[in-house]
């Protein structure tokens, strides 16, 4: 992901190099649920340049996440971490999130936790640094197609659905080096992968190492 950006206001000569790796994770406990994180927790994470996505990823959730990511990108050059716990997702939402990630200039890290399933996997592979917690699972699954209307309208919806899924699979193929046809077949059969299997598949690059206690 490359791009040109004018110098930020107040920018000067480059300072000391930043240490490699994603920003430190917050120590605050939180209770998972459906939808977005509670506002207070979401803002605390935002201050630490962390965006949390959990629950079903629809167009509204993707728009909110994209707005947060792009705002953090505009605010500074420090790394941003996107944490995913998204068991189901829609193709249009995943592609919107993917486009936002592609447009970012600052370093972005994605960390998978819980279950990551559906087309959002195409957004997961949009960044170079992709981590997974040891118990994370990945589900290559097709979202349900809800089409109504005349035969022509249903056919048009189906063609658009196939186009979007083709874009998702092409992006995963680009990141993993696997044939797009193989990935499309895995989505069709609903293949599951453990975190270790996801490394072999090419979806993630490494496991999260627990801190020393």
Q: What is the mean pLDDT of the chain?
A: 86
pLDDT above 80 for 26: no
pTM assigned to the model: 0.79
What is the pLDDT averaged over residues 142-157?
83
| Per-residue confidence (pLDDT) for residue 39, from 0 to 100 | 66
Average pLDDT over residues 113-122: 98
Q: CA dist 110 to 6, 60, 96, Å?
A: 26, 20, 16
pLDDT (tens digit, 9 = 90+) per residue, 168-205?
A: 999 999 999 999 999 999 999 999 999 999 999 999 99
* CATH match of 39-207 with 1.20.1740.10: no
The answer on pLDDT for 19 being more than 50 is no
Residue 40: per-residue pLDDT: 80
**The pLDDT value given to residue 27:** 41
The confidence score (pLDDT) of residue 21 equals 54
Q: Give the model confidence (pLDDT) of 48-84 as tens digits.
A: 999 999 999 999 999 999 999 999 999 999 999 999 9
* Chain-centroid distance, C-alpha 94: 8
So what's the pLDDT on residue 37? 59
């Amino acid at each position: 992901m490359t791009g040109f950006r004018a110098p930020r206001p107040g920018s000067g000569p480059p300072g000391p190099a930043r240490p490699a790796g994603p920003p430190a994770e917050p120590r605050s406990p939180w209770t998972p649920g459906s939808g977005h994180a509670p506002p207070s927790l979401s803002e605390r994470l935002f201050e630490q340049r962390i965006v949390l996505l959990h629950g079903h990823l629809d167009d509204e959730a993707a728009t909110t996440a994209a707005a947060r990511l792009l705002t953090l990108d505009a605010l500074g050059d420090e790394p941003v971490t996107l944490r995913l716990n998204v068991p189901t997702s829609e193709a249009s939402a995943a592609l919107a999130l993917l486009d936002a990630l592609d447009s970012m200039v600052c370093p972005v890290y994605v960390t998978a936790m819980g279950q990551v399933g559906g087309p959002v996997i195409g957004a997961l592979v949009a960044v170079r640094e992709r981590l997974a917690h040891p118990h994370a699972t990945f589900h290559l699954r097709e979202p349900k197609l809800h089409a109504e209307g005349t035969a022509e309208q249903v056919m048009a919806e189906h063609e658009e659905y196939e186009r979007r899924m083709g874009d998702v699979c092409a992006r995963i193929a680009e990141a993993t080096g696997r044939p797009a046809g193989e990935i499309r077949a895995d989505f069709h059969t609903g293949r599951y992968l453990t975190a270790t299997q996801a490394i072999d598949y090419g979806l993630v690059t490494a496991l999260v190492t627990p801190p020393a206690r």
